[in-house]
Amino acid sequence: MSQQHHIDELFIRIWNDYLSITPSAEKVHALLAASDTAPKIVNDHIALRTLNFSHMGISVLSQHFEALGYTHGGDYDFGSKKLNAMHFEHPDGNHPKVFISELKVDELSDAVQTILHRISQSVTSEFMSESNCLYSGKCWQLTYNDYQNLLAESEYAAWFAAWGFRANHFTVSVNHLETLTELVEVNSLLKQHGFVLNTSGGEIKGSQDVCLAQSSTMADKMPVVFSDQTVDIPSCFYEFAQRYPLPNGELYQGFVAASADKIFESTNVN
């Protein structure tokens, strides 16, 4: 079986898991497919969230992509959200990039650290060694009260504790659309059809000046089965990215921390 087949198969599984808790994504996908003449919707990147424990951090999740030929593409720091992040890309350029972030657990309060350490104890190295950990959801118990305590301090911590290991979002590559050639046109179409966009930091984050412009829907709300009750909370969202050329003429392939910082807020509760 070819490496390309393995990569395609992995992303299909991640995509199917994502769709299962992001029903609006299928609607967006259908809308763009009907409104554009491009033969297919191309995914620019996915994003994964985790905690910075040694057995489940970025370096552990990234191994599954590195085994398929992906290489490290860049490092990012989000001080106010207490996050590190890295992105990975495939040398042939035809596969989606992967953006993985991790929460700096030791910078949070003792009460929140206690909850996150308990979560981490349910994650075994054996579990993380299998690629299906990338779309497995959570393998721990969580009370709704614990979720609320996490949410009060870190939306990121609360989202990860509730949803676990899975794509936080997929991203439409505007560069690969044919009729809708600008991000502002995509946003306009989405709003005409009732989709709510993330306006934190502006509807469009970034610009041609930084070689990357991004926008996103706000996350769907879906039921999570906590250990004591079931509650609808924000799940995942759909992002849209337009990349611009560098001075050498090649499209910029990295990420812009100031923009990504606001994209994280697509899963905010309010």
- Comparing 234 with 94, the larger pLDDT belongs to 234
Identify the CATH number of the domain defined by range 3-267: 3.10.180.50
Q: Using CB atoms within 10 A of its CB, is residue 154 exposed (0-12), middle (13-18) or buried (19+)? A: buried
Beta bridge partners of 233: 222
Mean pLDDT confidence for 54-64 = 97
Each residue's pLDDT tens digit, 146-189:
999 999 999 999 999 999 999 999 999 999 999 999 999 999 99
> Checking phi first, is residue 211 left (phi over 0); if not, alpha (psi -120 to 50) or beta?
left
Give the mean model confidence (pLDDT) for residues 120-146: 96
Q: Tokens 């370096």: give the residue.
A: 59
Domain positions in the chain are 3-267
pLDDT of residue 1: 60
pTM of the prediction? 0.97
